[in-house]
Every structure is written in C-alpha cells, then in structure tokens.
Amino acid sequence: MEFTHEVHTFGPVYDKNSKILILGSFPSVKSRENQFYYGHPQNRFWRVIAAICNETLPETVEEKKSLLQRHRIALWDVIASCDIAGSSDSSIKNVTANNMDVIFQKADIRAVFANGDKAYRLYQKYCAGEGQPPLIRLPSTSPANAAWKWERLLEAWSTSVGQKLNES
C-alpha cells in the first residue's frame, strides 16, 4: 500500500442561509481530480441528495452547488490534509482537520451529518466542541459500502436529512 500526503484543495460549499452541514472524510482520487465532492460516478451521494430534495440529478459542479444552496445544505470534509493510500478511508493517517468554525460562524447550522463511520469518528476526534450542533452518523454513500443497497441507503438518509430539511 503506497501512501501519499494529500492536501484538500477545494473549499466548502455553504452560505449564510445554510442550515445543515454534511461532512465526508477526505476526497477520493476521482474527487481530487475533478476538484469537487463525490466525483466518483459510482458514489451515490448526488443521487441521494437529489432524491431527498425531489430534484433531478445534477451533472455539473455548478448544478451541484446550486442544488445544495437551494436546500440550505453546506458540504465539506473533516480532513484538511492527511496521508492516504488512493481513496481508502481505512488507510488515512497523520490527519490535520479542517476548522469547522469557518462555517459555524457564518451560517446557522442546526445539524451536522457525517457521511459514513470514518467521517463520524474523525469529526468526534478532531472537530467536536461545545455548543456545536448535534452530529448524526449516516451510512456512507461510497460504492465501497455495498452492504447498504439503494433503497435502504435512501431511507436512512431521507429519515435523517430529509427530516432536518423539512424543519428548517
């Protein structure tokens, strides 16, 4: 397994109207190539968000950003830099976390969702602090999470994220 030191090279998506924050761990190789979140065509993130928001699947980066902002969703990753082998979350080490206050100080975030167990554990270890909104762990939308078939994955995300979107 060959490790490389990688730095997150694209910023968060949010604005002052954002109400929920969805966090991944660190961009995959494909996302790093595309310079945007969830760039692997087999990752189900954009399908899930489009379904929850009752919208068509966004194709371009601008369409994806627009979808998130229309529904007051902020998107970022827990990690600013790390050593990683390819796209493997299980290989991540030597973590430097992003400063979540960048978003918390500018938007009224009411809930934080971790896209998968690794993002959840990393947030708890490096980012969790007093006065922050509750952190909710969701099943990963990654194609590596084959145990979660589409219907079950969508139900889990709809129950949590969909409910918070309807509250805000």
CATH of the domain at 163: 3.40.470.10
Domain count, the chain: 1
Q: Is 51 exposed, middle or buried (0-12, 13-18, 19+ CB in 10 A)?
A: middle
Separation of alpha carbons 19 and 107, rounded Å:
7
**Which residues make beta-bridge pairs with 13?**
75
Specify the pLDDT at position 164.
Answer: 81
- Residues 53-87: tens digit of each pLDDT: 999 999 999 999 999 999 999 999 999 999 999 98
CA proximity to 125, closest of 167, 163, 97, 94: 97
- Phi/psi of residue 141, each to 5°? -85, 0
Q: Which helix (H) or strand (E) holds 89?
A: none
Q: Would you say 8 and 26 are in contact if contact means Cβ atoms under 8 Å apart?
A: yes
- Phi/psi of residue 114, each to 5°? -100, 125
- Domain extent at residue 148: 4-167
Length of the chain: 168
Instruction: Compare 115 and 146 and report the one with higher pLDDT.
Output: 115
Q: Inform me whether the pLDDT recorded for 149 exceeds 70.
A: yes
Specify the pLDDT at position 168.
Answer: 63
Strand extents, DSSP E, 30-131: 73-77, 79-84, 93-97, 111-115
